[in-house]
Amino acid sequence: MRRLALPALLLPLSACGGGAEMSGTALGIPFGDTRYVFFGGPFIAISNIEMDCEQLSFVRSNYEVGQAPTDDDTQLLQFGFTQTAEVSEGQKAIAVTASVSAAVVKVVDGAFDFAYADGGVLDVESVSEDEVEGNFEGVAFDDGSLNGTFKASWCRNLKDR
């Protein structure tokens, strides 16, 4: 009986995603350590606030000014692989026109804002079927930059749109 109880207790923790240790600010948001880290398709998504995989269906490569992509309050750093359909290993430069882009998406009480990074480096160290690990450095936005390490869990709601 005890053997079955432990997996049952750990199951809710697996829904939280991986984890990230972050520092810095972007779009006026001070980012910190979080457990809400996911990947799927061409995206890695790191949420600064509690969010689960089911809530990430709004993530996309491009956002429109004035149209909030979700009704949920959101503070999200996302990386998008623009030349491949999936997250891939290796060190990549970040820019709007590069093979990897980064954006911060903020929705607060329906008010929406977003910003794209104009520099930085993403290093995806390992990719498996259900987990991605890596780090990022100097992900530069107009009002700050972000650095960190992450371990992301697979999320079926992150896919190319």
Token code pair at residue 116: 């794209």
Which tokens is 8 given? 């049952």
What's the confidence (pLDDT) of residue 84? 76
Q: Which residues pair with 77 in a beta bridge?
A: 46, 104
The tokens describing 77, both together, are: 């750093």
Q: Which residues of the chain have pLDDT under 70?
A: 1-17, 161
In this prediction, residue 16 carries a pLDDT of 53
What is the reported pTM? 0.87
Report pLDDT for 97: 85
Q: Which two tokens stand for residue 73?
A: 């309050």
Longest dimension (CA), the chain: 55
- Per-residue model confidence (pLDDT) at position 117: 97
Contact 11, 30 (CB under 8 A): no
Closest CA to 104 of 42, 37, 153, 45: 45
